[in-house]
């Protein structure tokens, strides 16, 4: 009906309108270079597939420097991988709120701590912080120890052949997460035994990542058209039903006066107490529980898997780790790892840090400015800017970590090598106002697990480090997960 030139004129007018109304954002191009993209869509076409996101970001950082400005459709965004600007952002009260892309997390996991905006976020965070206090974490050690003992038994049946251990480790961390936060062991649940629950978590996570980078998928109708809705909504419902069952079980056991974890600061005890006092709604309890279990198990399983994989790829470092563990635990088999033992694992600390440096478990995080923010380089970024903090590329930056930045070497964490590093150059759990609530939990549980696994097994792989291809998926994934082989140690 209308000619092509009519549509081109309409698009041009729309673009000029956007340029005018958003001129304060466009002016940022003068301060931070970056790819301008096409009118209307910006760089959206480059970020359609989560497989491409990290490589595209890496390409632009190489081309324009550690901080760059671009457009995702009509949305202005900064990509930041400079430690000082990262610190400015993570410590600013004007950057507490997560970026627009976390709308997908609201939909997939629920509106909990992870994606909640201020002022609700600050209130919930204060209320839930005690669930990760030192005393509570110490009370988890028996669970970390007994579950790792059970894991050792599972692994004994999987020796001498290259295998993918992802699912075994995810089941392991899911069981730990539900016991420590929800006070329930899920080992006898049907959906856990047949691995359906893990598949559902994977489906929700993948769809959420797609929704983050293809914002139109936040629309249900469009998800139906693109064939993403059916499996996603079923997975969400099943996960919700599972979490709800754990909450109801806890509430019923309470009223029957039976004993579940007594500490009032165990996460679910805190949350249900807030419910009874009218501070939390039922939806708050469900959402926060969902988010805490989500946040706890997947990140920890990945970190374990990637640490073991990297040690298998770099056997000399694995031997050094083994020697350290052997001095603390001379005999193989099962042994109790205490908090004091974890403090003695100096080399293991370096290994964990280096694993999370080369393969940042959460490669990108996002914030938005709720007020204009003056950065320490003098540039003011306007209210309403979306910010992607590119932890992955900051952790692998040669200007920060030297010419060997992209390879694995735990010596990067020798105290002498850290002296010249900016405190925000290494932030696997982020830092500042809104860091990971479970960071200490994650480190203690990872050390217990790695000590027992590395004392009892040697890990090898035929997959070369150089062939790893990294994929953005909220938590980092590999295009192809290397298989690992276990051999028993004496
Ligand atoms: C190696 C393991 C882990 C890594 C690498 C990790 C990493 C992170 C990162 C980078 C963030 C910030 C995300 C953002 O700013 O958008 C975060 C937030 C969060 N993490 Fe973790 N995490 C780990 C383990 C855990 C565990 C064990 C729990 C719970 C038991 C947990 C619960 C959370 C929650 C609830 C948030 C949101 C905090 C808030 O905004 O107040 N995480 N995590």
Inside any domain, residue 298 = yes
**Contact criterion met (CB below 8 Å) for 442 and 176:** no
Residue 436 near ligand 1, beta carbon < 6 Å: yes
Closest ligand 1 atom number to CA of residue 124 = 41
Model pLDDT, residue 40: 65
Beta bridge partners of 386: 77, 368
Predicted pLDDT at 26: 67
Nearest-atom index, ligand 1, CA of 435:
12
State whether the beta carbon of 270 lies less than 6 angstroms from ligand 1: no
CA of 203 to the centre of ligand 1 (A): 20
Q: Is 203 assigned to a binding site?
A: no
The answer, yes or no, to whether any atom of ligand 1 lies below 6 A from the CB of 113, is: yes
357 near 66, Cβ under 8 Å?
no
Give phi and psi for 451, each to the nearest 5. Answer: -60, -45
Is 36 within the bounds of a domain? no
Q: Are 427 and 391 in contact (CB under 8 A)?
A: yes
Which residue's CA is minimally distant from atom 41 of ligand 1?
113
The predicted pLDDT at position 259 comes to: 41
How far from 139 is each of 113, 173, 179, 272, 452, CA to CA, in Å?
23, 17, 11, 20, 19
Residue 37 lies in a domain: no
Q: From the CA of 202, how far away is ligand 1's center (Å)? A: 17
Q: Could you list the mean pLDDT of each consecutive 10-residue stretch along the chain, which spans 490 residues?
A: 81 76 68 74 72 87 91 85 97 94 86 93 96 94 95 91 92 93 85 86 87 82 86 92 90 58 81 93 94 92 97 98 97 95 97 98 94 93 92 97 97 96 98 96 97 97 95 87 94
Contact 351, 311 (CB under 8 A): yes
Cα(125) to centroid(ligand 1), Å: 12
| Residue 365 beta carbon below 6 angstroms from any ligand 1 atom | yes
Residue 434 domain flag: yes
Residue 256 is part of which domain span?
81-488
- The finding on whether 292 has its CB within 6 A of some atom of ligand 1 is yes
Q: Under a CB-based contact definition with an 8 Å cutoff, are residues 102 and 121 in contact?
A: no
Task: Establish whether residue 297 lines the binding site of ligand 1, counting it when its CB lies within 6 angstroms of any ligand atom.
Answer: no
Nearest residue (CA) to ligand 1, atom 3: 299
Q: In a mutational test of the pocket of ligand 1, which residue from 129, 209, 299, 432 has the highest number of ligand atoms less than 8 Å from its CB?
A: 299
Atom 23 (ligand 1) nearest CA: 299
| Side-chain-facing half-sphere of 479: CA atoms under 13 Å | 14
Q: Is 437 in the pocket of ligand 1 (CB under 6 A)?
A: yes
Q: Is the CB of 438 within 6 Å of ligand 1? A: yes
Is there a contact between 454 and 321 (Cβ–Cβ < 8 Å)? yes
The answer to the question of residue 414 being in a domain is yes
Tally of structural domains, the chain: 1
Q: What is the CATH number of the domain that holds 155?
A: 1.10.630.10
* Phi, then psi, of 471 in degrees rounded to 5: -130, 130
CA-closest residue to ligand 1 atom 27:
296
The closest alpha carbon to 475, from 103, 209, 108, belongs to 209
pLDDT at 89: 97
- Which atom from ligand 1 is nearest to the alpha carbon of 360? 5
pLDDT tens digit sequence for 442-455: 999 999 999 999 99
17 inside domain: no
Residue 72 lies in a domain: no
* Residue 427 · residue 116 · CB < 8 Å: no
Is 186 a member of any domain?
yes
Distance 438 CA to ligand 1 centre (A): 6
Decide the pairing of beta strands 386-390 and 75-80. Answer: parallel
- Which residues are CB-neighbours of 226 under 8 A, at least 6 positions away? 217
Is the distance from the beta carbon of residue 116 to the nearest atom of ligand 1 less than 6 Å? no
The ligand 1 atom at the shortest distance from the C-alpha of residue 121 is 41
Ligand 1 center to 292 CA (angstroms):
9
With the most atoms of ligand 1 within 8 angstroms of its CB, the residue from 115, 438, 445, 477 to mutate is: 438
Distance CA 256, CA 269 (A): 15
């Amino acid at each position: 009906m209308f000619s092509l030139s009519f549509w081109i004129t309409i698009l041009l007018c729309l673009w000029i309108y956007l340029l005018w109304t958003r001129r304060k954002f466009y002016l940022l191009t003068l301060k931070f270079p970056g790819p301008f993209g096409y009118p209307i869509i910006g760089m959206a076409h480059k970020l359609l597939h989560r497989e491409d996101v990290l490589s595209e970001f890496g390409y632009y950082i190489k081309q324009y420097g550690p901080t760059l400005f671009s457009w995702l459709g009509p949305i202005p965004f900064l990509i930041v991988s400079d430690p000082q600007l990262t610190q400015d952002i993570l410590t600013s009260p004007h950057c507490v709120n997560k970026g627009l892309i976390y709308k997908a997390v609201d939909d997939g996991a629920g509106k909990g701590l992870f994606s909640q905006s201020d002022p609700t976020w600050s209130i919930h965070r204060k209320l839930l912080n005690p669930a990760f206090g030192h005393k509570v974490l110490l009370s988890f050690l028996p669970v970390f120890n007994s579950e790792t003992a059970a894991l050792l038994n599972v692994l004994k049946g999987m020796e001498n052949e290259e295998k993918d251990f992802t699912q075994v480790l995810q089941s392991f961390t899911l069981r730990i997460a539900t016991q420590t936060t929800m006070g329930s062991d899920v080992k006898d649940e049907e959906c856990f035994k047949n691995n359906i629950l893990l598949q559902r978590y994977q489906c929700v996570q993948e769809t959420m990542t797609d929704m983050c980078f293809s914002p139109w998928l936040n629309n249900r109708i469009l998800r139906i058209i693109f064939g993403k809705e059916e499996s996603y909504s079923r997975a969400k419902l099943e996960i919700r039903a599972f979490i709800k069952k754990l909450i109801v079980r806890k509430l019923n056991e309470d009223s029957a006066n039976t004993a579940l974890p007594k500490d009032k600061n165990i996460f679910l005890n805190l949350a249900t107490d807030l419910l009874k006092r009218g501070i939390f709604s039922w939806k708050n309890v469900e959402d926060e529980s969902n988010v805490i279990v989500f946040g706890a198990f997947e990140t920890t399983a990945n970190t374990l898997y990637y640490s073991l994989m990297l040690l298998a790829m770099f056997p000399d470092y694995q031997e050094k780790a083994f020697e350290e563990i052997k001095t603390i635990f001379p005999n193989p088999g099962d042994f109790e790892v205490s908090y004091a033992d974890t403090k003695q694992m100096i080399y293991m600390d370096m290994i964990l840090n280096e694993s999370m440096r080369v393969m940042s478990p959460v490669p990108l995080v996002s914030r938005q400015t709720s007020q204009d923010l003056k950065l320490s380089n003098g540039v003011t970024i306007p209210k309403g800017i979306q910010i992607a903090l590119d932890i992955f590329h900051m952790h692998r930056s040669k200007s920060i970590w030297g010419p060997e930045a992209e390879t694995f070497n735990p010596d990067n964490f020798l105290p002498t090598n850290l002296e010249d590093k900016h405190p925000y150059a290494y932030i696997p759990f982020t830092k500042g106002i809104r860091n990971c609530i479970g960071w200490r939990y994650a480190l203690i549980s990872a050390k217990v697990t790695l000590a027992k696994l590395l004392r009892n097994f040697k890990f090898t792989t035929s997959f070369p480090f150089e062939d790893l291809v990294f994929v953005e998926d909220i938590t980092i994934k590999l295009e192809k997960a290397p298989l690992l082989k276990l051999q028993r140690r004496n």
